[in-house]
Chain A
Amino acid sequence: MFKKFFLLLMLMCGSFLIAQEHFPKNDGVKSVNTNHTALTNAKIFVTPTKIIDNGTLLIKDGKVVSVGSSVNIPKNAVVVDLAGKHVYPSFIDIFSGFGIEKPKRQGGGRSPQYEPSREGYYWNDHIMPEQTALEHFKYNSKAAADLRKAGFGTVNTHMQDGIIRGTGALIALSDEGGDAVRILDASSAQYSALTRSVRTRQSYPGSIMGSMALLRQVNHDADWYAKGMSKVSDRSLEAYLKNRDMIQIIAAGSRANALRCDNVGDDIGVQYVILGGGDEYERVSDIKATNATFIIPIDFPKAYDVEDPFLASTLELEDMLEWNQMPGNPKALAESGVKFALTTHELKSASDFKSNLMKAIKYGLEPVKALEALTTTPAGILGHADKLGNLNSGAFANFLITSGDVFDAKTTLYENWVKGHRYIMESMDVKDIRGDYSMTIMNTPYELNFSGGISKVKSKVTSGDNELGSKISYQDDWINLTLKTADSTKDEYVRLVSRIGAGDNLTGTVIFPNGNESTFYATKKPKEEKSNDGGNAKPNGKKSEVDVMPVYYPNGAYGFKTMPRQETLLFKNATVWTNESDGVLENTDVLIKDGKISKIGSNLSASGAKVIDATGKHLTSGIIDEHSHIAAASINEGGQNSSAEVSIEDVIDASDIDIYRNLAGGVTSMQILHGSANPIGGRSAIIKLKWGESADNILNKNAAKFIKFALGENVKQSNWQSFNRFPQTRMGVEQLYVDYFSRAKAYDQKKKSGKPYRKDVEMEVLAEILNKERYISCHSYVQSEINMLMKVAEKFNFNINTFTHILEGYKVADKMAEHGVGGSTFSDWWAYKFEVNDAIPHNAAIMHNAGVVTAINSDDGEMSRRLNQEAAKSVKYGGVSEEDAWKFVTLNPAKLLHIDDRVGSIKVGKDADVVLWNGHPMSIYSKAEKTIIEGVTYFDIERDKQMRESVKRDRNKLINMMLKDKNKGMKTQPVKRKDKEHLHCESLDKNF
């Protein structure tokens, strides 16, 4: 006992003096401890792969002096015998908010704040590279103790707030010695994220795509600043430049955002270390392709409480799959060769870490990989591989002493040493008294059972058939056991006290309720072997217990288990709507090969082709929606009146179920437009509805470039409380355009002149418009503003490509035809705003008849799956011919999007984006039976039936699995229901 205390004291003094050697000392003599500590006979994991079975770890001054199987132990060494014990480098968490208080959301103010709150810094409050972790840091010994208990010795902490968050600090979790000892690296890495700071109300950015654009622009501004071009000083950019060479860690928080962050990194020449979301397994090959190192949280979701079938019916397969599959994420990453560290981030408590980690191991993560992810990998990420995460000589003496395999549930973590400080979780000296004992006191036999932790013992005492109330305390080699007497009518207690000796049996004093004392003897019973199958080892099938569902593409309902492939298809005897001069061809065959329309004719044959009897059916080109907001994580960046710098391409969500539902409505291409929050919106994404493909693969890379503009009530912010952003009138909207285009012109001239210029993405995009490299699709309602924008464009010598919505297009159809702008309108929407008062369903007909290229669009994820019906309304309203009406949703939007060379009609050589309908394509009674893109059948009505069955099967299987979990007593979470709304022009990022 004395030895233990002495050792602790020695170690404490030692480090204290090291840290403060240049400090004066007034409370005693200044003595120096030069002793070593030698930990001997341990199984030492110097690194996850370098293991010494019976080794010695020699440490001094908080560092490893040497490690090995034959280490020379100096005479001035305190020796600790660790026979049978394991020693590991302690864990490192490099995504931590340790010691930094979570900031509070800045409230107040009814109108949005557009201006920055700070002076002398970057114009955007969310950019804070000048921030340091240490300016917010206050060592939290309770949190440190919790982390040490979970096996951590070092954390890299930072202020988890803002888009550029400044530097983190590497902290040793040592209670002793103060910050002088703890701070291993005061600015260890720069942290960034896609989420806004809660400490400022500045409205920009208000979306993920806005954050991405801002990260890029800051980098351009920093380049320019570095060249000394700025007339004023900017402390943020100065800090940014200073931090540029550091490790850059970005909080993506999900698989999809990880890919977005990596794209930003590619653009600005940074290879980010990316905080993932735990869902990387869904498309692990894309994750691998980033070449990034990841930091992976392991906050695996609890099972949903599905006992109540009403509530369970609202739970989605996607969420249930996540529960089932997510624990396999670390395994999937490791198997694909993705380098990653693990973090406690997102865990409610550090104490959940071990159980989740063991779950990941149960789901197939190799322990050696787990250990790497907690030691060598995080140390390597921070560039401290020499000092941290291993026990080679020279490394910090940061290590764990355990009773065995650190990842085994039964293993006890005895000690966690931080920089040579010893923190005891469970005493190694404590004798394990757990087991069954029998004793006899006053002729009464008692059975004692001690269970629980080694030092936190629980007692159970029975006498005969009665269980007696009892309480045990076990401390410093003494046990005190209090029993209630067998006579339950009396409130009387018997006390036993015993010193734990060398033997297994207990002996000591018993004190009766009347004060009499006597001696007792309790005999420990031999351990009963619990194996009941003749001593056979348990089947080594732990992993087989885990029932992991397959990953679908996308990973939810109606996802594909294996992606459908391109086929050679021969449609026989169809009614073919060519959209070409041939018009509608009866009894015609169409051959699709290599993703293209190969032949159109009669009596076609092709070897190896899958023949589809289309008798009585109609084959058309796929529907194209010029105006949609599905399949995107953000729609509006309304934080400023121009957001040309953002792009929907950055935020495509390929897993949106509306992609599938639109395929079922015969839609094959869409323009995903920015919203209408501002006069100059963001850049579009033109996609093909390739369900199951990645976000990158659904982009139509052959398409022209587009940007969304908007006019009218939305950009004036007429219908909500916002009065401080220019423009507030249509008059202001014109001036805004003239201003931006004048500046873009000047910018472009400067750029072309070869003079130095500050790269401004917004201006680059606007210059593309002036240079006719990018087209405008403009949200518009009333004739005055429509006319205005055409005049502005003419003044700058370009044309507006498309007016979208264009509800009063019929009033200026002649002017539109003259300007050469197309009109993409709703069939019959009106009455929702004052500016749509004169909207008429005959609009498309009038524009079309006036020679305007006219399309019908949806702006709605539901309506887009019925665009064939919306086109048919033009037959009703205004008497457009059926063939022309059909072009309103196929060839004409293809023309407006400049993709009509590839899609929009059935013509040899065009992409095989076709739909097979069971009847007339514009009849209300018709359904799409097959929707094909580039020869791949992405929707098939027969396959859909099978998928429905599969969804049902999977749901029931998972619900049963979750019920089983609950019955096992595992914690559950309440059912949640996703609040999915179709995004419209006015939608803002939720929870951003």
Chain B
Amino acid sequence: MKHLQHIILVFLVGMVGAFAQQTPAPEQTEAYTIIGATAHIGNGEVIENSLIIIKDGKILACVDALTSKMAMQGEIIKAQGKHVYPGIIAPNSTLGLQEIGAVRATNDTREIGDMNPNIRSIIAYNAESKIVESMRPNGVLIGQITPRGGTISGSSSIVQFDAWNWEDAAIKTDEGIHMNWPNTFTRGRWWLGEDPGLKPNKNYKKNVDKANMFVAESKAYLAGDRSTMNLKYEAMSGLFDGSKTLYVHVDDERGLRDAIDFKDKNGIAKMVIVGGYQAPKVAELLKQHDIPVLVQRTHTTPAIDDHDYDYTFKLPKLLVDAGVLVGLQNSGSMERANARNLPFQAGTVAAYGMDKEEALKLITSNSAKILGIDDRLGTLEAGKDATFFVSEGDALDMRTNKLTHAFINGRAISLESHQTELWKRYADKYGQKN
């Protein structure tokens, strides 16, 4: 009997070993210094031969090793020929909310109902998701975990990708409310003999009015004594004092213009556009209203045949050139697993005309500003969280994006994953190098 228990125990431990996420790294206790690397600060600047001192989970200094006289501290990590980048941020992501696309039981991305500002993604965030850990070997270390569905999907929170649980993971909770702008087109019901294509949505105005009415009701409630709790209206409160951001998911020009009007009319303090396929048409207006854009996935085909084949590749540049603050996000088909390709999406933007360091900003400092975490994240500047990584080469190019180290709050995190374990196991089986 005892023997059997022992076997079961071994078996269970084995299971845990095979299926659990990498153990989160312990807190930083000793300072360390990275020398010799090319530091891509994330704000457009580069220091060719850098000296980076990390202490107490923060960047104490990131300076030019040649000109600076700062003393190195703690362990020295020699990184000559390597590149250091701030941790890449994945905004508008469902990482940790669903593990397997086709398995409904693993899906926590969308709640039923149309207006759900009170729905909070953070509590469903699975810090032990095997997809989350697969982000890290590519340098993607931070995500904005965002619910989907309805007109108002719910509230997003920002997490880092090395944690025991969602509380540990949280960087900023309930920082924004996500709204899917009403569609200007609707799909024909072919089974009723209608043209299956998209046609102008007759209910568009009605749906916009509904959203306006919901905001008006929320404001009325918030102005009252709130004696009877209304969870939905309560959740809207931060939108008017600037403590929360309204993320409006919209792509078409009319929707964009109407969304900007919605912001003004309803006194929304901060708004961010998510998607923004036609945003270049309203770039001037976005700039005037100080509305940034988290542009749609770079690696998509144009919406209509007539558009330039590289329209989606150059879309971020069109907006940046017009003075709009732009970040990249990756929502769409297989969005969770593909989020690790964000650095290459930025690389593609660079291929189609943007300066490489500017392109890096799209996934680091710009996103940090847009998400309101730029006081702590997004660059390698002194005082920021030590959330960054070291790559053997250019991290925006897949050939050279090879991480040797990654840190979150100064903690040296594992770059292993379910995938690397399998790789090593089977490479060993065949006697291959790994």
Contacts and interface: CB of A to CB of B under 8 A. Distances in A.
Interface of A: 105, 310-311, 313-314, 316-318, 556-558, 657-658, 660-661, 664, 713, 718-719, 810-811, 813-814, 828-834, 837-842, 845-846, 849-850, 861-863, 865-866, 869, 872-873, 875-879, 882, 922-927, 944, 948, 951, 955, 974-980, 982, 990-991
Contact of B398 (A311, A833, A869): A869
Interface string B26-67: 000000000000000000000000000000000000000000
Interface in B291-309: 299-306, 308-309
17 contacts: A311-B184, A316-B306, A813-B430, A814-B430, A832-B101, A832-B334, A845-B432, A849-B432, A862-B299, A865-B309, A877-B423, A878-B423, A879-B433, A927-B351, A948-B308, A979-B187, A991-B190
B340 interface: yes
Given A313-B253, A976-B199, A990-B196, A833 B432 contact: no
Nearest to A877: B423
Contacts of A556: 305-306
B23 interface: no
Contacts, number: 181
B334 A977 contact: no
A922 B340 CA distance: 19
A987 to B, nearest CB: 12
Interface string B162-203: 000000000000000000000011010011010111111000
A97 to B, nearest CB: 15
Contacts of A865: 301, 309
Contacts of B254: 310-311
Contacts of B195: 976
Contacts of B308: 944, 948
Contact of B337 (A664, A831, A877, A978): A831
Interface in B379-434: 396-402, 418-420, 422-423, 426-427, 430, 432-434
B398 A872 contact: yes
A841 B338 CA distance: 12
Contacts of A846: 423, 426-427, 430, 432
Given A830-B337, A872-B397, A991 B196 contact: yes
B419 A924 contact: no
B348 interface: yes
Query: Which of A310, A557, A861, A926 counts the most chain B CB atoms within 10 A?
Result: A310
B399 A979 contact: no
A316 B100 contact: no
A875 B392 CA distance: 13
B432 to A, nearest CB: 5
B197 A660 contact: no
B197 A978 contact: yes
Contact of B278 (A313, A713, A828, A863): A313
Contact of B344 (A310, A862, A869): A869
Contacts of A977: 185, 197-199, 304
B357 interface: no
Given A813-B430, A828-B340, A923-B399, A974 B305 contact: no
B334 A829 contact: yes
A95 B426 CA distance: 64
Contact of B430 (A849, A863, A948): A849
B299 A866 contact: yes
B131 interface: yes
B374 interface: no
A925 B305 contact: no
A976 B197 contact: yes
Contact of B399 (A105, A664, A875, A975): A875
Interface in B303-358: 303-306, 308-310, 334, 336-338, 340-341, 344, 347-348, 350-352, 356
A832 B190 contact: no
A718 B101 CA distance: 13
Nearest to B194: A991
B128 interface: no
The list of the 7 closest CB pairs from A to B, nearest first, reads: A924-B347, A832-B101, A977-B198, A842-B423, A831-B337, A310-B254, A657-B305
Contacts of A924: 344, 347-348, 350-351, 396-399
Contact of B306 (A557, A661, A841): A557
B252 to A, nearest CB: 7
A872 B393 CA distance: 14
Query: Which of B302, B340, B430, B434 counts the most chain A CB atoms within 10 A?
Result: B430
Given A105-B193, A834-B103, 12 more contacts: A105-B191, A314-B304, A317-B305, A713-B102, A842-B419, A862-B300, A869-B398, A872-B397, A872-B398, A873-B398, A882-B399, A975-B199
B416 to A, nearest CB: 12
Contacts of B99: 831
A718 B102 CA distance: 9
A834 B100 contact: yes
Query: Which of B102, B131, B190, B341 counts the most chain A CB atoms within 10 A?
Result: B102
Contact of B304 (A810, A849, A978): A978
A634 to B, nearest CB: 15
A811 B426 CA distance: 6
Given A833-B101, A866-B299, A310 B184 contact: yes
Nearest to B187: A979
A837 B422 contact: no
Contacts of B190: 990-991
Nearest to A920: B399
Nearest to A830: B337
Contacts of B347: 924-925
Contacts of B193: 105
Given A831-B337, A840-B423, A925-B350, A660 B309 contact: yes
B190 to A, nearest CB: 4
Contacts of A925: 347, 350-351, 356, 397
A833 B402 contact: no
A314 B185 contact: yes
Contacts of A661: 301-302, 309
Given A863-B299, A974-B200, A977-B198, A557 B305 contact: yes
Contacts of B351: 924-927
A908 to B, nearest CB: 30
A828 B341 CA distance: 9
A369 to B, nearest CB: 32
Contact of B422 (A658, A713, A838, A869): A838
A927 B347 CA distance: 12
A927 B101 CA distance: 33
Given A842-B427, A924-B351, A924-B396, A832 B102 contact: yes
A922 B399 contact: yes
Nearest to B278: A313
A944 B350 CA distance: 20
A976 B187 CA distance: 10
A833 B102 CA distance: 5
Contact of B200 (A311, A316, A713, A878): A311
Contacts of A982: 301
Contacts of A310: 184, 252-254
A992 B340 CA distance: 37
A136 B285 CA distance: 62
A974 B199 contact: yes
A376 to B, nearest CB: 35
A845 B401 CA distance: 16
A876 B420 CA distance: 12
A837 B432 CA distance: 23
Contacts of B196: 979, 990-991
Interface string B242-257: 0000000000111000
A876 B399 contact: yes
Contacts of B253: 310, 313
A978 B198 contact: yes
Given A310-B184, A314-B304, A869-B344, A976 B198 contact: yes
A771 B195 CA distance: 45
B301 A876 contact: no
